[in-house]
Amino acid sequence: MRRFLTTVLALALLMVPLAATEASANSQGRPNGVGPVRTMTYNLYVGADIFRIVDAGLIDPNLVPFVVAEVVGTVMATDFPERSVAIAEQVAKSRPHLIGLQEVSLIRYQSPGDLLIGNPTPAEDVLYDYLDILMDALAARGLHYEVAGVVQEADVELPMFAGIDGDGNLLFDDVRLTDRDVILVQKGVKTSNVVAQNYLFNLIVPIAGSDVVFYRGYVALDAMVKGREYRFVNTHLEVQFPEPIPNIQGAQAFELATVLASETKPIILVGDFNSSPEDPPTQPYWIMRAAGYVDTWMRRVGRPDPGFTCCQSEFLTNEESWLDERIDLVFVRNDTDFPAFRDLGPVKARVVGAQERDKTPSGLWPSDHAGVAAKLIIPVRWK
């Protein structure tokens, strides 16, 4: 009993400076660090498996325009304008302050194409701008979000078979895919210090006689939410390939951890990491854990849930969910100066867009990925 009372007294004494610090902070109009911040990560999905084109190019470069036509047909069938409404509905349910989006595609075309004669004029006619489409879907629901940061990643233009003219000649258009990762912020959230950067190591694939670089990157910014400043970071890492292709995604994760190593503000890092807790320690999940990041899903309160976020079928028409791995993640790193502080308070998190009721009216899943919405309490640093 005496040992118990001594322990309680010691803890009470430890909390005195904490209470004084928080009272002082409140008296000066500064936050005490207990307010929640709501976040979301969502891979929008371009709408088809673009690696079908890569595979075709490795077999026979002459197949590329025909496979490009098939892929574009699949993109149109998976109908992002319709899917954007379902994704906006998930945003409406969670009302996140900060959203990290991946695969925010910009698809452009040129008809007739000129790529086969040197591509003197890049394709500029817009077929789909996923960012504009989603912003319109959000606004239609009275959701007020602003684009706060964008990083451009892969920008690939390829010829596409477009038919045969009356003389039997093959016709070709050009199709251009520009990939982006985007940060949206709820109106009223002040942002600054925006950084958009591609990684040093990226996948290079030969397609139709040319080396195409599939750039990946990250976008980061400072966000003031309820008087508290966070460093919010969104990324999409490369997929994991078998040997002999190098561990590109591991190199990208290591680069990101190094770039953020000196950051003193609490970091909320979200994205499609293409890596799960089941991966070996050389892959992104464990690289970020080793760098001091907390996997917020592991701290969530509520019923047990595997939190699977990937992946539905390419065509998004599978009746039951195929999700079987957790690769869309929300990490937090909050360096503290006093061991009594927890690096992360209670977490409320859920997978979104993964139930049959979340499908579009025509029966499409909102994306091949599910999103993750998390409500976080991150304790203030003790000075």
In tens digits, the chain (383 residues) has pLDDT values of 444 344 333 334 334 333 333 333 333 334 444 579 999 999 999 999 999 998 888 888 899 999 999 999 999 999 999 999 999 999 999 999 999 999 999 999 999 999 888 889 999 999 999 999 999 999 999 999 999 999 999 999 999 999 999 999 999 999 999 999 999 999 999 999 999 999 999 999 888 777 889 999 999 999 999 989 999 999 999 999 887 688 999 999 999 999 999 999 999 999 999 999 999 999 999 999 999 999 999 999 999 999 999 999 999 999 999 999 999 999 999 976 544 445 788 899 999 999 999 999 999 999 999 999 999 999 876 54
Which residue stretches of the chain are H helix? 2-27, 51-59, 64-77, 80-94, 130-140, 248-259, 284-290
96-114 burial by CB neighbour count: b if 16+ within 10 A, else e? bbbbbbbbbbbbbbbeebb
CA–CA separation, 162 and 16 (whole Å): 74
Is the CB of residue 110 less than 8 Å from the CB of residue 68?
Answer: no
CA–CA separation, 192 and 182 (whole Å): 15
The pLDDT, as a whole number, for residue 1 is 44
CA dihedral (116, 120, 126, 127) in degrees, to 10, reads 0
The pLDDT, as a whole number, for residue 381 is 60
Is the CB of residue 159 less than 8 Å from the CB of residue 57?
Answer: no
70-109 pLDDT, tens per residue?
999 999 999 999 999 999 999 999 999 999 999 999 999 9
Beta strands in the chain (DSSP E): 36-43, 98-102, 106-110, 125-129, 145-164, 170-186, 190-198, 203-207, 210-214, 217-225, 228-236, 267-272, 294-295, 328-333, 348-352, 371-377
CATH of 39-377, one of 3.40.50.261, 3.60.10.10, 3.40.50.1220, 3.40.50.10800: 3.60.10.10
- Cβ burial of 185 (10 Å; 0-12, 13-18, 19+) is buried
CA–CA separation, 380 and 31 (whole Å): 8
117-163 pLDDT, tens per residue?
888 999 999 999 999 999 999 999 999 999 999 999 999 999 999 99
The pLDDT, as a whole number, for residue 22 is 38
The pLDDT, as a whole number, for residue 320 is 97
The pLDDT, as a whole number, for residue 8 is 36
Residue 321 is encoded by which pair of tokens? Answer: 């969910």
CA–CA separation, 379 and 370 (whole Å): 28
